Amino acid sequence: MLTGPTGLHHQDQKLLYKDKERDSKAFLDTAGVKDKSKLVLIEDPISQEKRLLEMRKNAKLEKASKSISEISLEVDRLGNQVSTFESIITKGGKVAEKDVLNLIEQLMNQLLKLDGVMADGDVKLQRKMQVRRVQKYVETLDMLKIKNAMPSTNGAQSETQNRHKHSVRKQEQQSRQRLAPIQEQQSSNSVSHLPIHQQYQHKHQHQHQQASGPVVVTTKWETFDSSPATLPVTSTSTSSSTANNSAPPKFPWEFFD
Protein backbone atom coordinates (compact mmCIF):
# COMPACT_ATOMS: atom_id res chain seq x y z
CA MET A 1 0.00 0.00 0.00
CA LEU A 2 2.92 2.29 0.75
CA THR A 3 4.97 1.22 -2.26
CA GLY A 4 3.37 3.79 -4.55
CA PRO A 5 3.77 6.88 -2.33
CA THR A 6 7.22 5.94 -1.01
CA GLY A 7 8.72 4.14 -4.02
CA LEU A 8 10.09 1.39 -1.79
CA HIS A 9 9.63 -2.28 -2.56
CA HIS A 10 7.36 -3.93 -0.07
CA GLN A 11 10.15 -6.35 0.89
CA ASP A 12 12.50 -3.41 1.60
CA GLN A 13 10.12 -1.64 3.98
CA LYS A 14 10.51 -1.60 7.75
CA LEU A 15 7.64 -0.40 9.98
CA LEU A 16 8.14 1.05 13.47
CA TYR A 17 5.28 1.56 15.92
CA LYS A 18 5.97 2.96 19.35
CA ASP A 19 9.70 2.70 18.61
CA LYS A 20 9.38 -1.03 17.95
CA GLU A 21 9.72 -2.86 14.68
CA ARG A 22 6.55 -4.49 13.56
CA ASP A 23 6.14 -7.34 11.19
CA SER A 24 5.12 -5.89 7.84
CA LYS A 25 3.06 -8.98 7.08
CA ALA A 26 1.03 -8.81 10.30
CA PHE A 27 -2.37 -7.15 10.62
CA LEU A 28 -2.47 -3.64 12.14
CA ASP A 29 -5.06 -4.45 14.81
CA THR A 30 -2.96 -7.35 16.10
CA ALA A 31 -0.03 -4.92 16.50
CA GLY A 32 -2.29 -2.52 18.50
CA VAL A 33 -2.47 0.18 15.86
CA LYS A 34 -5.51 2.40 16.22
CA ASP A 35 -6.96 5.31 14.34
CA LYS A 36 -4.65 8.32 14.06
CA SER A 37 -1.78 6.22 15.39
CA LYS A 38 1.66 7.24 14.20
CA LEU A 39 3.71 4.75 12.11
CA VAL A 40 7.26 5.21 10.91
CA LEU A 41 8.36 3.68 7.60
CA ILE A 42 12.06 3.30 6.93
CA GLU A 43 14.09 1.44 4.33
CA ASP A 44 15.55 -1.88 5.44
CA PRO A 45 18.99 -2.29 3.80
CA ILE A 46 19.38 -5.93 4.91
CA SER A 47 16.03 -6.93 3.39
CA GLN A 48 16.92 -5.03 0.26
CA GLU A 49 20.23 -6.87 0.00
CA LYS A 50 18.54 -10.22 0.47
CA ARG A 51 16.02 -9.37 -2.18
CA LEU A 52 18.74 -8.34 -4.63
CA LEU A 53 20.68 -11.51 -4.00
CA GLU A 54 17.57 -13.55 -4.59
CA MET A 55 16.87 -11.66 -7.79
CA ARG A 56 20.39 -12.26 -9.05
CA LYS A 57 20.14 -15.93 -8.22
CA ASN A 58 16.85 -16.29 -10.06
CA ALA A 59 18.20 -14.40 -13.04
CA LYS A 60 21.25 -16.63 -13.10
CA LEU A 61 19.12 -19.79 -12.98
CA GLU A 62 16.91 -18.44 -15.73
CA LYS A 63 19.91 -17.63 -17.90
CA ALA A 64 21.43 -21.07 -17.25
CA SER A 65 18.16 -22.76 -18.12
CA LYS A 66 17.96 -20.79 -21.35
CA SER A 67 21.57 -21.67 -22.24
CA ILE A 68 20.98 -25.36 -21.59
CA SER A 69 17.86 -25.26 -23.76
CA GLU A 70 19.83 -23.76 -26.63
CA ILE A 71 22.63 -26.29 -26.19
CA SER A 72 20.08 -29.09 -26.08
CA LEU A 73 18.66 -28.02 -29.44
CA GLU A 74 22.15 -27.94 -30.95
CA VAL A 75 22.97 -31.36 -29.51
CA ASP A 76 19.76 -32.72 -31.04
CA ARG A 77 20.85 -31.45 -34.45
CA LEU A 78 24.33 -32.94 -34.09
CA GLY A 79 22.84 -36.18 -32.80
CA ASN A 80 20.88 -36.55 -36.05
CA GLN A 81 24.14 -36.29 -37.98
CA VAL A 82 25.69 -38.94 -35.75
CA SER A 83 22.78 -41.29 -36.50
CA THR A 84 23.18 -40.64 -40.23
CA PHE A 85 26.91 -41.43 -40.16
CA GLU A 86 26.28 -44.55 -38.09
CA SER A 87 23.70 -45.82 -40.57
CA ILE A 88 26.03 -45.28 -43.54
CA ILE A 89 29.11 -46.87 -41.96
CA THR A 90 27.16 -49.81 -40.50
CA LYS A 91 25.86 -50.68 -43.98
CA GLY A 92 29.40 -50.78 -45.33
CA GLY A 93 29.53 -47.25 -46.72
CA LYS A 94 32.26 -44.69 -46.26
CA VAL A 95 32.16 -41.18 -44.79
CA ALA A 96 34.82 -38.53 -45.21
CA GLU A 97 37.06 -38.56 -42.16
CA LYS A 98 37.06 -34.77 -42.20
CA ASP A 99 33.30 -34.75 -41.64
CA VAL A 100 33.58 -37.14 -38.70
CA LEU A 101 36.31 -35.07 -37.06
CA ASN A 102 34.35 -31.86 -37.64
CA LEU A 103 31.29 -33.35 -35.95
CA ILE A 104 33.39 -34.48 -32.97
CA GLU A 105 34.80 -30.99 -32.66
CA GLN A 106 31.32 -29.43 -32.65
CA LEU A 107 30.18 -31.79 -29.92
CA MET A 108 33.24 -31.00 -27.84
CA ASN A 109 32.44 -27.29 -28.16
CA GLN A 110 28.96 -27.95 -26.81
CA LEU A 111 30.52 -29.90 -23.96
CA LEU A 112 32.70 -26.91 -23.10
CA LYS A 113 29.64 -24.68 -23.09
CA LEU A 114 27.89 -27.03 -20.69
CA ASP A 115 30.90 -27.04 -18.38
CA GLY A 116 30.72 -23.25 -18.28
CA VAL A 117 27.09 -23.27 -17.11
CA MET A 118 26.78 -22.95 -13.35
CA ALA A 119 23.41 -24.05 -12.05
CA ASP A 120 21.65 -25.55 -9.06
CA GLY A 121 18.62 -27.71 -8.54
CA ASP A 122 16.66 -28.80 -11.61
CA VAL A 123 18.81 -26.78 -13.98
CA LYS A 124 21.91 -28.61 -12.74
CA LEU A 125 20.20 -31.92 -13.40
CA GLN A 126 19.37 -30.84 -16.95
CA ARG A 127 22.98 -29.85 -17.54
CA LYS A 128 24.18 -33.25 -16.32
CA MET A 129 21.81 -35.05 -18.70
CA GLN A 130 23.09 -33.03 -21.68
CA VAL A 131 26.69 -33.76 -20.73
CA ARG A 132 25.98 -37.49 -20.79
CA ARG A 133 24.33 -37.19 -24.21
CA VAL A 134 27.31 -35.36 -25.69
CA GLN A 135 29.78 -37.87 -24.23
CA LYS A 136 27.80 -40.76 -25.66
CA TYR A 137 27.76 -39.17 -29.13
CA VAL A 138 31.52 -38.55 -29.00
CA GLU A 139 32.19 -42.18 -28.01
CA THR A 140 29.99 -43.38 -30.88
CA LEU A 141 31.87 -41.20 -33.35
CA ASP A 142 35.22 -42.50 -32.09
CA MET A 143 34.10 -46.06 -32.82
CA LEU A 144 32.69 -45.08 -36.21
CA LYS A 145 35.94 -43.33 -37.10
CA ILE A 146 37.91 -46.53 -36.45
CA LYS A 147 35.44 -48.64 -38.42
CA ASN A 148 35.38 -46.11 -41.24
CA ALA A 149 39.18 -46.23 -41.51
CA MET A 150 39.21 -50.02 -41.92
CA PRO A 151 39.48 -51.28 -45.55
CA SER A 152 36.38 -52.65 -47.17
CA THR A 153 35.96 -56.44 -46.82
CA ASN A 154 34.00 -56.91 -50.07
CA GLY A 155 37.14 -57.27 -52.20
CA ALA A 156 38.72 -59.67 -49.71
CA GLN A 157 35.61 -61.83 -49.66
CA SER A 158 35.53 -61.99 -53.49
CA GLU A 159 39.20 -62.97 -53.60
CA THR A 160 38.63 -65.66 -50.97
CA GLN A 161 35.69 -67.07 -52.91
CA ASN A 162 37.73 -67.16 -56.15
CA ARG A 163 40.57 -68.96 -54.38
CA HIS A 164 38.12 -71.49 -52.96
CA LYS A 165 36.59 -72.17 -56.38
CA HIS A 166 40.04 -72.59 -57.94
CA SER A 167 41.06 -75.02 -55.19
CA VAL A 168 37.90 -77.10 -55.67
CA ARG A 169 38.48 -77.31 -59.43
CA LYS A 170 42.10 -78.31 -58.91
CA GLN A 171 41.08 -81.07 -56.48
CA GLU A 172 38.51 -82.38 -58.99
CA GLN A 173 41.15 -82.54 -61.73
CA GLN A 174 43.58 -84.35 -59.44
CA SER A 175 40.85 -86.82 -58.46
CA ARG A 176 40.07 -87.50 -62.11
CA GLN A 177 43.77 -88.05 -62.87
CA ARG A 178 44.07 -90.50 -59.96
CA LEU A 179 40.92 -92.38 -60.95
CA ALA A 180 41.80 -92.68 -64.65
CA PRO A 181 44.50 -95.43 -64.28
CA ILE A 182 42.36 -97.22 -61.69
CA GLN A 183 39.40 -97.33 -64.07
CA GLU A 184 41.67 -98.46 -66.89
CA GLN A 185 43.13 -101.21 -64.69
CA GLN A 186 39.63 -102.30 -63.64
CA SER A 187 38.62 -102.43 -67.29
CA SER A 188 41.65 -104.58 -68.09
CA ASN A 189 40.97 -106.88 -65.16
CA SER A 190 37.35 -107.28 -66.21
CA VAL A 191 38.34 -108.80 -69.58
CA SER A 192 41.42 -110.75 -68.45
CA HIS A 193 39.37 -113.90 -67.94
CA LEU A 194 38.12 -113.87 -71.55
CA PRO A 195 39.77 -115.84 -74.33
CA ILE A 196 42.65 -114.20 -76.15
CA HIS A 197 40.77 -113.38 -79.31
CA GLN A 198 37.93 -111.78 -77.28
CA GLN A 199 40.43 -109.76 -75.21
CA TYR A 200 42.00 -108.51 -78.44
CA GLN A 201 38.57 -107.66 -79.82
CA HIS A 202 37.59 -105.79 -76.59
CA LYS A 203 40.89 -103.86 -76.59
CA HIS A 204 40.46 -102.92 -80.25
CA GLN A 205 36.88 -101.69 -79.57
CA HIS A 206 38.04 -99.67 -76.55
CA GLN A 207 40.71 -97.90 -78.59
CA HIS A 208 38.24 -97.25 -81.39
CA GLN A 209 35.78 -95.71 -78.85
CA GLN A 210 38.47 -93.38 -77.50
CA ALA A 211 39.36 -92.24 -81.04
CA SER A 212 35.91 -91.81 -82.56
CA GLY A 213 33.64 -91.26 -79.57
CA PRO A 214 30.78 -93.36 -78.23
CA VAL A 215 29.61 -96.21 -80.52
CA VAL A 216 27.30 -99.17 -80.15
CA VAL A 217 29.29 -102.31 -79.45
CA THR A 218 27.96 -105.72 -80.41
CA THR A 219 29.82 -108.85 -79.40
CA LYS A 220 30.03 -111.67 -81.88
CA TRP A 221 30.81 -114.90 -80.19
CA GLU A 222 32.79 -117.50 -82.10
CA THR A 223 32.03 -121.16 -81.59
CA PHE A 224 34.58 -123.91 -81.43
CA ASP A 225 34.21 -127.66 -81.54
CA SER A 226 34.33 -129.30 -78.21
CA SER A 227 36.03 -132.44 -79.53
CA PRO A 228 39.83 -132.24 -79.90
CA ALA A 229 41.30 -132.33 -83.38
CA THR A 230 42.47 -135.82 -84.49
CA LEU A 231 46.00 -136.35 -85.62
CA PRO A 232 46.85 -138.66 -88.48
CA VAL A 233 48.14 -142.03 -87.39
CA THR A 234 51.30 -143.31 -89.10
CA SER A 235 52.00 -146.91 -89.50
CA THR A 236 55.74 -146.75 -89.05
CA SER A 237 57.29 -147.25 -85.68
CA THR A 238 59.84 -144.54 -86.31
CA SER A 239 57.23 -141.85 -86.59
CA SER A 240 55.42 -143.22 -83.48
CA SER A 241 58.54 -143.11 -81.34
CA THR A 242 59.40 -139.64 -82.61
CA ALA A 243 55.92 -138.36 -81.73
CA ASN A 244 56.08 -139.97 -78.29
CA ASN A 245 59.55 -138.60 -77.45
CA SER A 246 58.88 -135.04 -78.74
CA ALA A 247 58.29 -132.17 -76.26
CA PRO A 248 54.77 -130.90 -75.73
CA PRO A 249 53.80 -128.22 -78.23
CA LYS A 250 54.22 -124.50 -77.23
CA PHE A 251 51.64 -121.94 -78.13
CA PRO A 252 52.35 -118.21 -78.30
CA TRP A 253 50.05 -117.16 -75.49
CA GLU A 254 49.88 -113.47 -74.74
CA PHE A 255 49.42 -112.41 -71.16
CA PHE A 256 47.75 -109.22 -69.98
CA ASP A 257 48.21 -107.57 -66.68
Based on the domain organization, do 70 and 31 belong to the same domain?
A: no
Select from 149, 166, 198 the last residue of a domain: 149
Q: What is the DSSP string of 73-117?
A: HHHHHHHHHHHHHHHHHHTT----HHHHHHHHHHHHHHHHHHHT-
What pLDDT was estimated at residue 70? Answer: 93
Based on the domain organization, do 90 and 39 belong to the same domain?
A: no
What is the Rg, in whole angstroms, of the alpha carbon atoms belonging to the chain? 58
Based on the domain organization, do 80 and 30 belong to the same domain?
A: no
Query: Whole domain around residue 142: which residue ranges?
Result: 58-149
User: Could you tell me the CATH number of the domain that includes residue 8?
Assistant: 3.10.20.90
Based on the domain organization, do 101 and 75 belong to the same domain?
A: yes
Based on the domain organization, do 21 and 75 belong to the same domain?
A: no
Q: Is 124 helix (H, G, I), strand (E, B) or coil?
A: helix
Based on the domain organization, do 33 and 77 belong to the same domain?
A: no
User: Could you tell me the CATH number of the domain that includes residue 88?
Assistant: 1.20.58.120
- Residue at 172 is within a domain: no
Residue 88's nearest CA partner among 134, 132, 141, 133 is: 141
d(CA 105, CA 103): 5
**Considering the entire predicted model, what is its pTM?**
0.47
Q: What does the pLDDT profile of the chain (257 residues) look like in tens digits? A: 556 556 566 565 666 656 566 666 666 666 666 666 666 666 666 777 787 888 888 888 888 889 999 999 999 999 999 999 989 888 888 888 899 899 999 999 999 999 888 878 888 899 999 999 999 999 999 998 888 888 765 544 555 566 666 676 777 777 667 665 555 555 555 555 555 555 555 555 655 555 454 545 555 555 555 444 444 444 444 444 444 455 555 555 665 65
- Residue at 230 is within a domain: no
- Residue at 180 is within a domain: no
Q: State how many domains the chain has.
A: 2
What pLDDT was estimated at residue 238? Answer: 47
Torsions phi, psi for 4 (to 5 deg) = -65, -55
For the stretch 179-208, pLDDT in tens is: 655 555 555 555 555 555 555 555 556 555
What pLDDT was estimated at residue 119? Answer: 78
Based on the domain organization, do 110 and 145 belong to the same domain?
A: yes
Select from 149, 174, 190 the last residue of a domain: 149
- Residue at 10 is within a domain: yes
User: Within 13 Å of residue 77, how many CA atoms lie on the same side as its CB?
Assistant: 9
For the stretch 215-256, pLDDT in tens is: 455 555 555 554 444 444 444 444 444 444 555 555 556 656
Based on the domain organization, do 133 and 74 belong to the same domain?
A: yes
What pLDDT was estimated at residue 234? Answer: 44
Select from 149, 172, 195 the last residue of a domain: 149
What pLDDT was estimated at residue 170? Answer: 74
- Residue at 166 is within a domain: no
What pLDDT was estimated at residue 173? Answer: 74
- Residue at 190 is within a domain: no
- Residue at 37 is within a domain: yes
Based on the domain organization, do 21 and 96 belong to the same domain?
A: no
- Residue at 187 is within a domain: no
d(CA 198, CA 221): 8
